[in-house]
Amino acid sequence: MRGEIIAIGNELTSGRIANTTSGFAAHHLFEAGFDIYAMHTIGDTPTLIGEALKRALSRVDFVLVTGGLGPTDDDLTTEAVSEALNRPTMPNLTLLYQIRTHLQTVSGPVVSPLEKLAWLPQGAETLNPNSKMSGFQLIHDDKPIFFLPGIPHQMQTLLIDQVLPRLTTWYKDRQLAVYQRVYKIFGKSEMEVNQETKSLQLNKAVEIGYYPVFPNVHLSMTVRGSDTEAMEKIFTATCTLVEEKMGLAIYGKDDESMESVVGVLLQQNGKQLAVAESCTGGLISHLLTSVAGSSAYYLGGVTSYANSMKTDLLGVSERLLQEYGAVSREAAKAMAAGMREKSGADIALSITGIAGPDGGSEDKPVGTVFVGMADAKETRVHRFLLPGTRYEIQRMTAQTALDLLRRYLLT
Amino acid sequence: MRGEIIAIGNELTSGRIANTTSGFAAHHLFEAGFDIYAMHTIGDTPTLIGEALKRALSRVDFVLVTGGLGPTDDDLTTEAVSEALNRPTMPNLTLLYQIRTHLQTVSGPVVSPLEKLAWLPQGAETLNPNSKMSGFQLIHDDKPIFFLPGIPHQMQTLLIDQVLPRLTTWYKDRQLAVYQRVYKIFGKSEMEVNQETKSLQLNKAVEIGYYPVFPNVHLSMTVRGSDTEAMEKIFTATCTLVEEKMGLAIYGKDDESMESVVGVLLQQNGKQLAVAESCTGGLISHLLTSVAGSSAYYLGGVTSYANSMKTDLLGVSERLLQEYGAVSREAAKAMAAGMREKSGADIALSITGIAGPDGGSEDKPVGTVFVGMADAKETRVHRFLLPGTRYEIQRMTAQTALDLLRRYLLT
């Protein structure tokens, strides 16, 4: 079973807003065993919307349309669909009642532009009758079409809660099973991963894909078919081979991130962490605390951007900073040791470097980064020279530091 | 002049990787006066690639194709184009020489998979003769087609340095001028912005768009035409009306971000900032330091995730934390005052709250956030209750705190 995704909005074709919803939908549909034949992004132009929808209906089994369903004047999807599929819009009375009740409670005008949301193409069924921005479903030529709002969190909730169950029920018994795993790799290039995997001469039933996803490489393995027992066997054997070949370079699988993996390892080891950041400016702390439950192993940190913060909050001596500079092996060492002492953490990381675009010198060019790690026994410092923009240097530094910690916790 | 963008890769249609390159290209092409008719995302399937390319050539003036040009086995764009447009691949000798020279210096194998990069469709011209991953250009039916690698930073550099100048030269004298501005608004909903703008009865020559871009709303205004003098007049008058209506809710324009605007205001006021973060976990610090040159006004901060960090590094008393809790008006106040004192900054922000998903209580549900701000005169604390996921609460808190600082610096 395969489908197409049509995202609508001038904000997308003019590149002002990134289209994140199509990728989200593709990801979850793919995992549920549906293939995406193509994804299209077009402007709020009724004729184009109609054309794209009719072409999609002529070649795939379902269509997902996002965007252009809101109350503002530039939201034209419903009108376009009504015209293209020859289904006049009619008021959905439940929705209309809800909207009017809502407007009374907030004492809005008697006829509000919000009422536009209640007018749907003939035959439309709302996806969630309890919400006025729930999107709707049409069955046309025996194929389901789903219309969802373009706002990412609304679209995502409706896709998971409404579209996937409805689609799966509609096309039950016609699905192939899918086994898929994505290995996340740090410290090897896409081509190295490709060459090393190729040398394994894996079973041809396994589709392999290589994707540089800065700062990582993703290696995906997919097997599809109806003989689930045979598929699972091939899949498991292939995974084992790849894991052995890549070793520690694989830091995680599927939805895992470097920061979630590090979090699990810290908890397993019963260790608490603190981080002193200079050139990464809080990025490592932000990554760590984006994981729910991180307070169990992350105490916090210091962003010592100015030298005074390094001396006052981390106890780095002024003389050391004068003698070696804030970007130095010695400063990184003192920052890590100071952070560990001040916080009482078992392990402390420190970062000092030059993220650019200015501030480099011949001796320490932009991209020079020192990463320190202190535990009860010692404080080690690693020096790196990283290429790229300010953002790339900051992101690569954060990933490198977390990967050093991961490898430390594994051994 | 209008074009289409075709992005190629199974990693995109399976939703494993977000397609960021098409939006980037659309944005810059739009700014240069080119319209994007449609953007497509398809898998590494030669027949689909050929079909999409031929259909695009039949209806628009130029085509941009990204992805599938790499050295790995799943990169099939060049072969597909060769087949679809009936242009056999031939080795580009300059490229081949470069690749072999490169391989010698790294002592690689004699015949490397990298050599695949030198085989291009007949008539192809490389975009940057000094790089082996430069992409290429074909003129077909008198229309330019550009092929770029899918890796974002490579694609972005080539688009700006090679594609835009070539396209502009090719279609010189056929372009309409474009005046565009995007206002970035925080603290109003998309519908409020829509209603307030509508009440101004703006000149119909101005296209208006409304886009919720969490946590902000973007309001875009566009005028196109050939009579530049009249257009500019209409555009300027409209901008003035909108700016007056929206007032302080507009925090920035075009490429400005909340953090860059706050940075400029801090510099103009000659003030230095420090930030103590609990539930935002370093996010505010990360946003501030993503701006190049932020060391001029940002001293740094403390991520006081654990209570011990609040007492040891910020001087918040243990009794206060016991009496009122770490998430309280009193804790926020003590954190801001302590951060200001320890850092010597002119202004200190503090954040304490519950980002969830766990940790809420009846009294202080998930989403409860206190933001403190201390200057030489006083320390004020604001309480908020924010909806959403962990990420949304963290991001909304960061934006709210930075917006409070912006409004403080403006008055």
Chain B residue with minimum CA distance to A36: B13
What is d(CA A303, CA A247) in angstroms, rounded to the nearest whole number? 33
Q: How far is A372 from chain B (nearest CA, A)?
A: 18
According to the per-residue pLDDT averaged within each range, which of A85-89, A126-130, A194-198, A338-342 is highest?
A338-342
With beta carbons under 8 A apart, name residues in chain A contacting B309: 274, 299-300, 343
Q: How far is B374 from chain A (nearest CA, A)?
A: 18
Q: At B299, is the pLDDT very low, low, confident or very high (cuts 50, 70, 90)? A: very high
pLDDT at residue number A319: 97
Asked whether the beta carbons of residue A11 and residue B292 sit closer than 8 angstroms, the reply is: no
Asked whether the beta carbons of residue B38 and residue A42 sit closer than 8 angstroms, the reply is: yes
Do B160 and B195 lie in one domain? The reply is: no
pLDDT at residue number B307: 94
What is d(CA B125, CA B206) in angstroms, rounded to the nearest whole number? 40
Q: How many CB atoms lie within 10 A of CB B234?
A: 18
Asked whether the beta carbons of residue B343 and residue A312 sit closer than 8 angstroms, the reply is: yes
pLDDT at residue number B31: 83
Domain boundary among B253, B276, B306: B253
Average of per-residue pLDDT across B319-342: 97
| Tokens coding B179 | 């005046």
Please state whether the peptide bond connecting residue A357 to the residue before it is cis, i.e. omega within 30 degrees of 0: yes
| Tokens coding A351 | 């970062």
pLDDT digits (tens, 9 = 90+) for B139-166: 999 999 999 999 888 899 899 989 999 9
Q: Minimal CA–CA distance to B396: which of B359, B365, B355? A: B355
With beta carbons under 8 A apart, name residues in chain B contacting A28: 15
Do B95 and B230 lie in one domain? The reply is: no
Contact residues for B122 (Cβ-Cβ < 8 A; gap 6+): B82, B87, B88, B89, B90
Do B157 and B14 lie in one domain? The reply is: yes
Is the CA virtual torsion B275, B279, B281, B285 positive or negative?
negative
Residue B33 has pLDDT above 80, yes or no: yes
Q: At B384, is the pLDDT very low, low, confident or very high (cuts 50, 70, 90)? A: very high
Cα separations in angstroms, A139 against A59, A69, A127, A132, A144? 15, 18, 13, 20, 5
Considering only CB atoms, B14 lies closest to which of A30, A72, A358, namely A30
Q: How far is A229 from chain B (nearest CA, A)?
A: 24
Q: At A14, is the pLDDT very low, low, confident or very high (cuts 50, 70, 90)? A: confident
What are the strands of the beta sheet with A298-304, ordered from one edge? A379-385, A368-374, A347-353, A273-277, A298-304, B298-304, B273-277, B347-353, B368-374, B379-385
CATH of the domain at A18: 3.40.980.10
What is d(CA B38, CA B40) in angstroms, rounded to the nearest whole number? 7
| Tokens coding B161 | 């340095």
pLDDT at residue number A237: 96
Do B67 and B128 lie in one domain? The reply is: yes
Average of per-residue pLDDT across B372-389: 95
Do B290 and B368 lie in one domain? The reply is: yes
Residue B408 has pLDDT above 70, yes or no: yes
Q: How far is B89 from chain A (nearest CA, A)?
A: 22
Residue A67 has pLDDT above 70, yes or no: yes
Q: At A404, is the pLDDT very low, low, confident or very high (cuts 50, 70, 90)? A: very high
What is d(CA A176, CA B199) in angstroms, rounded to the nearest whole number? 54
Instruction: Count Cβ neighbours within 10 Å for each residue of B69-93 and write b for 16 or more, e otherwise.
Output: bbbbebbbbbbbbbbbbebebeebe
Q: Name the least confident of A374-388, B116-130, B134-148.
A: B116-130
pLDDT at residue number A279: 96
Indicate which of B8, B13, B163 best probes the interface with A, i.e. most A CBs within 10 Å of its own CB. B13
Residue A176 has pLDDT above 90, yes or no: no
Specify the number of domains making up chain A: 3
DSSP H helical ranges for A298-328: 307-314, 318-324
Do B225 and B352 lie in one domain? The reply is: no
pLDDT at residue number B220: 87
Contact residues for A210 (Cβ-Cβ < 8 A; gap 6+): A190, A193, A194, A197, A217, A218, A219, B72, B74
Chain A residue with minimum CA distance to B389: A153
Cα separations in angstroms, B302 against A192, A284, A367, B274, B326? 40, 13, 24, 8, 15
Q: Minimal CA–CA distance to B372: which of B316, B311, B306, B295? A: B316
Residue B174 has pLDDT above 70, yes or no: no
Residue A203 has pLDDT above 70, yes or no: yes
pLDDT at residue number B39: 96
Do A265 and A362 lie in one domain? The reply is: yes
Do B271 and B220 lie in one domain? The reply is: no
pLDDT at residue number A61: 94
Asked whether the beta carbons of residue B14 and residue A36 sit closer than 8 angstroms, the reply is: yes
Q: Minimal CA–CA distance to A212: which of B155, B210, B261? A: B155
Do A66 and A154 form a contact (C-beta atoms < 8 A)? no
The three-state secondary structure class of A345 is coil
Q: At A115, is the pLDDT very low, low, confident or very high (cuts 50, 70, 90)? A: confident
Domain boundary among A237, A253, A269: A253
Q: Minimal CA–CA distance to A65: which of A135, A9, A5, A23? A: A5
With beta carbons under 8 A apart, name residues in chain B contacting A357: 292
In DSSP terms, B35 is beta-bridged to B2
What is d(CA A123, CA A78) in angstroms, rounded to the nearest whole number? 12
pLDDT at residue number A1: 86
| Tokens coding B10 | 């199974």
Q: How far is A21 from chain B (nearest CA, A)?
A: 9
Report percent pLDDT > 70 for chain B.
97
Asked whether the beta carbons of residue B70 and residue A289 sit closer than 8 angstroms, the reply is: no
pLDDT at residue number A284: 98
Domain boundary among B223, B253, B283: B253
DSSP secondary structure of A140-182: ETTEEEEEE-SSHHHHHHHIIIIIHHHHHHHTTTSPPEEEEEE
Asked whether the beta carbons of residue A37 and residue B42 sit closer than 8 angstroms, the reply is: yes
Q: At B83, is the pLDDT very low, low, confident or very high (cuts 50, 70, 90)? A: very high
pLDDT at residue number A117: 84
Q: At B105, is the pLDDT very low, low, confident or very high (cuts 50, 70, 90)? A: low
pLDDT at residue number B289: 97
Asked whether the beta carbons of residue B113 and residue A195 sit closer than 8 angstroms, the reply is: yes
Considering only CB atoms, A72 lies closest to which of B210, B220, B312, namely B210
CATH of the domain at A300: 3.90.950.20
Do A353 and A281 lie in one domain? The reply is: yes
Q: How far is A138 from chain B (nearest CA, A)?
A: 24
Contact residues for B230 (Cβ-Cβ < 8 A; gap 6+): none
With beta carbons under 8 A apart, name residues in chain A contacting B277: 282
pLDDT at residue number B405: 98
Do B225 and B277 lie in one domain? The reply is: no
With beta carbons under 8 A apart, name residues in chain B contacting A392: 153
pLDDT digits (tens, 9 = 90+) for A293-311: 999 999 999 999 999 999 9
Indicate which of B6, B8, B11, B314 best probes the interface with A, i.e. most A CBs within 10 Å of its own CB. B11
Phi and psi of A405, rounded to 5°? -65, -40
Looking at residue A378, the DSSP 8-state letter turns out to be -
pLDDT at residue number A90: 86
Please report the ipTM that was assigned to this predicted complex: 0.76
Chain A residue with minimum CA distance to B297: A306
Indicate which of A6, A10, A12, A13 best probes the interface with B, i.e. most B CBs within 10 Å of its own CB. A13
Q: Which residue has the higher pLDDT, A224 or B83?
A: B83
What is d(CA A164, CA A162) in angstroms, rounded to the nearest whole number? 6
3-state SS string for chain B: CEEEEEEECHHHHCCCCCCCHHHHHHHHHHHCCCEEEEEEEECCCHHHHHHHHHHHHHHCCEEEEECCCCCCCCCCHHHHHHHHCCCCEEECHHHHHHHHHHHHHCCCCCCCHHHHHHEEECCCEECCCCCCCCCEEEEECCEEEEEECCCHHHHHHHHHHHHHHHHHHHCCCCCCEEEEEEEEECCCCHHHHHHHHHCCCCCCCCEEEEEEECCEEEEEEEEEECCHHHHHHHHHHHHHHHHHHHHHHEEEECCCCHHHHHHHHHHHHCCCEEEEECCCCCHHHHHHHCCCCHHHCEEEEEEECCHHHHHHHHCCCHHHHHHHCCCCHHHHHHHHHHHHHHHCCCEEEEEEECCCCCCCCCCCCCCEEEEEEECCCCEEEEEEECCCCHHHHHHHHHHHHHHHHHHHHHC
pLDDT at residue number B104: 66
CATH of the domain at B189: 3.30.70.2860
Considering only CB atoms, A38 lies closest to which of B40, B281, B282, namely B40
Q: At CA B221, angle to CA B247 and CA B249, rounded to 5?
A: 20
Indicate which of A178, A211, A341, A391 best probes the interface with B, i.e. most B CBs within 10 Å of its own CB. A211
Asked whether the beta carbons of residue A15 and residue B9 sit closer than 8 angstroms, the reply is: no
User: Residue A25's domain spans which residues?
Assistant: 2-170
Asked whether the beta carbons of residue B22 and residue A19 sit closer than 8 angstroms, the reply is: yes
Q: At B209, is the pLDDT very low, low, confident or very high (cuts 50, 70, 90)? A: confident
Q: At B15, is the pLDDT very low, low, confident or very high (cuts 50, 70, 90)? A: confident
With beta carbons under 8 A apart, name residues in chain A contacting B25: 15
Q: At B111, is the pLDDT very low, low, confident or very high (cuts 50, 70, 90)? A: low
Q: How far is A160 from chain B (nearest CA, A)?
A: 14
Considering only CB atoms, A302 lies closest to which of B15, B38, B302, namely B302
Residue B106 has pLDDT above 60, yes or no: no
Asked whether the beta carbons of residue A309 and residue B289 sit closer than 8 angstroms, the reply is: no
Considering only CB atoms, B289 lies closest to which of A38, A274, A282, namely A282
Considering only CB atoms, A300 lies closest to which of B20, B302, B390, namely B302
What is d(CA B138, CA B124) in angstroms, rounded to the nearest whole number? 5
Residue B292 has pLDDT above 90, yes or no: yes
With beta carbons under 8 A apart, name residues in chain B contacting A207: 10
Q: Minimal CA–CA distance to A360: which of A387, A322, A395, A397? A: A387
Do A348 and A276 form a contact (C-beta atoms < 8 A)? yes
pLDDT at residue number A183: 95
Asked whether the beta carbons of residue A306 and residue B290 sit closer than 8 angstroms, the reply is: no
Do A241 and A138 lie in one domain? The reply is: no
With beta carbons under 8 A apart, name residues in chain B contacting A290: 281, 390-391, 394
Do A108 and A135 lie in one domain? The reply is: yes
Q: Which residue has the higher pLDDT, A71 or B261?
A: B261
